[in-house]
Amino acid sequence: MSIHDNKVVIIGSGFVGASIAYATLIRGLCTELVMVDTNREKAVGEVMDLSHGLPFVPPVEIRTGGYEECAGAEVIVITAGANQEPAQSRLDLVQKNSKILHSILEGIEQYEKDAILLIVTNPVDVLTTLASQHSELRPERVIGSGTILDTARFRYILSQRCGISANSIHAYVIGEHGDSGVPIFSSASIAGSPLSLLCANSTSPCNQNWQEEVTAQVRRAAYEIINRKGATYYGIGLSCAYIIQSILRDEHKVLTVSSYLNDQYGSLGTAISVPCVLGKGGINRRLQVSMNPIEKEMFIQSAEKLKEAVNILN
């Protein structure tokens, strides 16, 4: 393998971009990592800081650059844009961040058309829709980080309740990365058994409203963190490194990421998260998740909400 086999470019070197870079370096995922930011000094500072950790991670070249650095990249990650203020929803960021996204897409399209574009900036589903509609990009190569983080939060919360490692819990959040995301309880499973069976046999059962409580905890998680420390970044940093790993190493992991859907889920007119198989070409295929009628309705409502946000913008 030559030293230039895996190039990752991160556009936006703020909290989220730097955390993705850090997680990517620690996992040894790429051989070239480039950080881009309109605030060049910020990108330079992050690269200097990260470079001092190079003796402790697998070999990688790390530097700053402009959009021209996207040439030859396998994955381009977009984290540029405003983040949520306390009490601000992700959809509140749409006007400002859609303009930033358009300027970035115009900046990079002359240099690279084959890379996988991983969009992380919020509102991630709306921006993933806009990027998928961008004439110069192939929609199958545009992925939003979507509900990968919500799914991780869901599994963590269940793991705390069940006293079982989050790695051993199979459960997904689908729909919007945001206030209408849908945790799927009906097909959540542990050790091949439905969660409901584990609950029925538990010696310390949860109260009657436990599913509503967990749903609220998943949806409120970012607000709780932002109220306390101003931004969320470690969880998404690790989540995105996991996405990048599955793509670069062609691992075919099943991850809930956002993409423009018009297949077995119907034509929803928006990018939205469902479980997807991720490998070299990006989304290899989407998987049908088993839902009860209430969850199905919540998913459709989530898609409607996103479609409305896209229509208002268009």
CA–CA separation, 6 and 282 (whole Å): 14
Q: Smallest distance, Å, CB 59 to ligand NAD?
A: 27
Query: 7: which 2 tokens?
Result: 């190039």
Closest CA to 26 of 58, 61, 64, 74: 58
Segment near ligand NAD (CB under 6 A); pick from 20-28, 119-127, 133-141, 260-268: 119-127
- Strands (E) in the chain, as ranges, are 7-11, 32-36, 61-64, 75-78, 116-119, 142-144, 169-170, 173-174, 182-183, 189-190, 193-194, 253-263, 266-279, 282-286
- Asked if 218 contacts 181 with a C-beta cutoff of 8 angstroms, the reply is yes
Binding mask 151-190 for ligand NAD (x = CB under 6 A): --------------------------x-------------
User: Among 21, 149, 218, 310, which residue sits at the site for ligand NAD (rule: CB under 6 A)?
Assistant: 149
Q: Does residue 273 touch ligand NAD according to CB under 6 A? A: no
CA–CA separation, 290 and 293 (whole Å): 10
Q: Does residue 16 touch ligand NAD according to CB under 6 A? A: yes
CA–CA separation, 138 and 132 (whole Å): 7
For ligand NAD, the nearest residue by Cβ is: 14
Q: Smallest distance, Å, CB 172 to ligand NAD?
A: 15
Q: Does residue 89 touch ligand NAD according to CB under 6 A? A: no
- Asked if 173 contacts 147 with a C-beta cutoff of 8 angstroms, the reply is yes
User: Among 97, 180, 256, 259, which residue sits at the site for ligand NAD (rule: CB under 6 A)?
Assistant: 97
Q: Smallest distance, Å, CB 199 to ligand NAD?
A: 29
Residue 177 catalytic?
A: yes
User: Among 29, 32, 34, 37, which residue sits at the site for ligand NAD (rule: CB under 6 A)?
Assistant: 37
Distance of CA 15 to the CA centre of its chain: 15
Which residue ranges make up the site for ligand NAD (CB under 6 A)? 11-17, 36-39, 42, 79-84, 93, 97, 100, 103-104, 120-122, 124, 145, 149, 177, 231-233, 236
Question: Which positions are annotated as active-site residues?
Answer: 177
